[in-house]
């Protein structure tokens, strides 16, 4: 798969390599996006999923984080090259 336009080819390769190391969850570039970066990429017309919304999960715990949810579902990547 070619990189999503919100990534440079180098960033995409690094993301895929890092995602392959975390076997505890499904890799998702929209899940790992931030609201600020998403807004920047939407403005630059580099976002394939401009309807992505953000939710905070695990509130009140050490694992609390804000995640991106792509159009009501998660964008997943196959770390072997597919999406």
Distance between CA atoms of 62 and 80, rounded to whole angstroms?
31
Question: pLDDT higher for 83 or 70?
Answer: 70
Nearest partner of 30 among 80, 79, 82, 66, judged by Cα: 66
pLDDT digits (tens, 9 = 90+) for 8-65: 999 999 998 988 888 776 668 898 999 999 999 999 999 999 999 999 999 999 999 9
In this prediction, residue 72 carries a pLDDT of 56
**What per-residue confidence (pLDDT) applies to 73?**
56
Considering its fold, how many domains does the chain have in total?
Answer: 1
pLDDT of residue 60: 94
Q: What is the C-alpha separation between 75 and 69, in angstroms, rounded?
A: 8
> Which pLDDT score, from 0 to 100, does residue 81 have?
45
User: Where in the sequence is the domain holding 13, given as residue range(s)?
Assistant: 9-69
Give me the pLDDT at residue 83, please: 42
C-alpha to C-alpha distance for 69 and 17, rounded to whole angstroms = 22
- Is residue 24 domain-resident? yes
- Residue 60, domain member (yes or no): yes
Q: Which residues contact 21 (CB under 8 A, 6 or more apart)?
A: none
């Amino acid at each position: 798969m070619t990189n999503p336009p919100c990534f440079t080819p180098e960033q995409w390769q690094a993301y895929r390599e890092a995602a392959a190391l975390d076997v505890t969850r499904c890799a998702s570039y929209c899940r790992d996006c931030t609201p600020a970066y998403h807004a920047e990429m939407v403005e630059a017309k580099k976002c394939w999923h401009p309807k992505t919304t953000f939710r905070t999960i695990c509130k009140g715990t050490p694992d609390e984080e804000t995640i991106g949810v792509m159009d009501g579902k998660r964008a997943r990547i196959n770390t072997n090259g597919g999406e």
